[in-house]
């Protein structure tokens, strides 16, 4: 059995060679909402927590507006726990090596809803083949949880108000799912 106490010293993939810190996650270990990003960026690698940079500010503003939840009321993590060099997309092998950590976090979190942000999270966790512009807002069954994907907040920072509006719509689906329990 995996012990999450070993995660801070994990060297199972090559991303361990470039990181400053393993970014494990934030929030209560057990939560009705798990928020899943792609990988730590520079701010997260330095600060040691997920989504503490610019995209995180937008993300938690939207989650606050649409779900009435604060950051510390969600369990927040990423598909891979170490920052890829120059923020490149994590490779399939890196995602696969890191997956048992995520599975253990999911097992402990027992979320009602998993919100996947962007293609890396949506494809790897929900198995989607198509891109996020097609798959956002879909509800999938993930063990005992429901899964919903939306755009990554970094895409909203680039794409502007129209992307933010799509994210708000997807978050309203999450709100209904959380309320329906």
Q: Which residues bind ligand URA (CB under 6 A)?
A: 37-41, 44, 50-51, 53, 55-56, 78
CA angle 117, 137, 168 (to 5 degrees): 75
Among 49-57, 90-98, 138-146, 155-163, the segment contacting ligand SF4 (CB under 6 A): 90-98
To ligand SF4, the closest distance from the beta carbon of 63 in angstroms equals: 25
To ligand SF4, the closest distance from the beta carbon of 93 in angstroms equals: 9
Q: 45 touches which of ligand SF4, ligand URA, none (CB within 5 to 8 A by kind)?
A: none
Q: Say whether residue 22 binds ligand SF4 (CB under 6 A).
A: yes
To ligand SF4, the closest distance from the beta carbon of 64 in angstroms equals: 29
The set of residues, in sequence order, having a beta carbon less than 8 Å from that of 99 and lying 6+ positions away, is: 124
Report which of 78, 105, 92, 100 is spatially closest to residue 19, judged by C-alpha positions: 78
The answer to whether 149 and 135 are in contact (CB under 8 A) is yes
The answer to whether 97 and 17 are in contact (CB under 8 A) is no
Q: Which of 69, 71, 81, 123 binds ligand SF4 (CB under 6 A)?
A: 81
The answer to whether 78 and 180 are in contact (CB under 8 A) is no
Name which of 31 and 78 has its Cβ closer to ligand URA: 78
The answer to whether 114 and 105 are in contact (CB under 8 A) is no
Q: Say whether residue 97 binds ligand SF4 (CB under 6 A).
A: yes
Among 12-20, 54-62, 124-132, 170-178, the segment contacting ligand SF4 (CB under 6 A): 12-20
Ranges of beta strands (E only) in 7-89 are 33-37, 75-78
Name which of 25 and 67 has its Cβ closer to ligand SF4: 25
Q: How many CB atoms lie within 10 A of CB 114?
A: 24
* Residue numbers at the binding site for ligand SF4 (CB under 6 A): 10-13, 15-16, 22, 80-82, 94, 97-98, 101
């Amino acid at each position: 059995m995996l012990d999450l106490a070993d995660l801070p010293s994990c060297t199972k993939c090559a991303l361990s060679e470039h990181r400053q810190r393993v970014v494990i996650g934030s929030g209560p270990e057990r939560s009705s909402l798990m928020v899943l990003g792609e990988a730590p960026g520079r701010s997260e690698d330095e600060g040691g927590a997920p989504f503490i940079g610019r995209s995180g500010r937008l993300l938690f503003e939207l989650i606050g507006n649409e779900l009435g939840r604060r950051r510390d009321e969600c369990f927040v993590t990423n598909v891979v726990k170490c920052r890829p060099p120059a923020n490149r997309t994590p490779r399939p092998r890196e995602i696969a090596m890191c997956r048992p950590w995520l599975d253990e976090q999911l097992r402990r979190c027992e979320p009602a809803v998993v919100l996947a942000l962007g293609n890396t999270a949506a494809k790897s966790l929900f198995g989607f083949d198509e891109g996020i512009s097609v798959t956002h807002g879909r509800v999938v069954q993930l063990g005992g949880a429901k899964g919903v994907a939306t755009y990554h907040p970094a895409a909203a920072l680039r794409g502007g108000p129209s992307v933010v509006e799509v994210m708000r719509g997807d978050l309203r689906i999450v709100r209904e799912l959380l309320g329906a329990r």
